[in-house]
A and B are shown apart, each in its own frame.
Chain A
Amino acid sequence: AQKITQTQPGMFVQEKEAVTLDCTYDTSDPSYGLFWYKQPSSGEMIFLIYQGSYDQQNATEGRYSLNFQKARKSANLVISASQLGDSAMYFCAMREGLSGNTPLVFGKGTRLSVIA
């Protein structure tokens, strides 16, 4: 069975600093996708970044990068140059298979607070 673990219930970071949000996963399927979503206080789920299990390079999207360590089964999110607007819940999720046709399994989330 798929499993996602986010061990940090809450994190604080100073504005303009970088922060790493941890995520480990477990699956027996060699083909899978890893995702990070942001949920601000308004409640919507915002897609941030995706990493496929066969991707050689770490995914990057603007200030977001995914530190993919396959052997360790970890997919940490790195946010560079934190902004006050980055304060939100962040969810790591996994899908077995490489296309959009299977459900996501989510971790419990990490609440990030950016301090001015």
Chain B
Amino acid sequence: DAGVIQSPRHEVTEMGQEVTLRCKPISGHDYLFWYRQTMMRGLELLIYFNNNVPIDDSGMPEDRFSAKMPNASFSTLKIQPSEPRDSAVYFCASSLAGGETQYFGPGTRLLVL
């Protein structure tokens, strides 16, 4: 079974540009999480979904960030406009409601110049 898939794996963009990160959760998983990893703040939750519905977006830094899950097999995290401080690794993870473990994708390494 394929794991969590994220694209792109690396993204370099200039300040002010729109960035879209993509995630495909493990088939059948009904929870999807977006985390961000930085040197300063470590790993922190941005937002998570249950059955495509956002449950908690209190970790989303500001209005420049938005996330959607139009169906059970796809989610996007958009940053518009991007800023250098958004440079980080963005992870997507998925899990089953009755399961124990969250499985992480390989991450997207974002660099905003």
Contacts and interface: CB of A to CB of B under 8 A. Distances in A.
Which size bracket describes the interface of A in this complex? 20 to 34
A100 B102 contact: yes
A43 B105 CA distance: 10
B104 A109 contact: no
Interface stretch (B12-20, B61-69, B75-83, B89-97): B89-97
Interface of A: 33, 35, 37, 43-47, 50, 52, 91, 93, 95, 98-101, 103-109
Which size bracket describes the interface of B in this complex? 20 to 34
B1 interface: no
B32 to A, nearest CB: 11
7 contacts: A44-B104, A50-B101, A99-B96, A99-B98, A100-B96, A100-B97, A104-B102
A109 B42 contact: yes
B108 to A, nearest CB: 10
B101 A43 contact: no
B36 to A, nearest CB: 11
B45 interface: yes
Contacts of A95: 102
Contacts of A100: 31, 95-102
B44 to A, nearest CB: 8
A33 B98 CA distance: 13
Interface string B8-50: 0000000000000000000000010101000000111100101
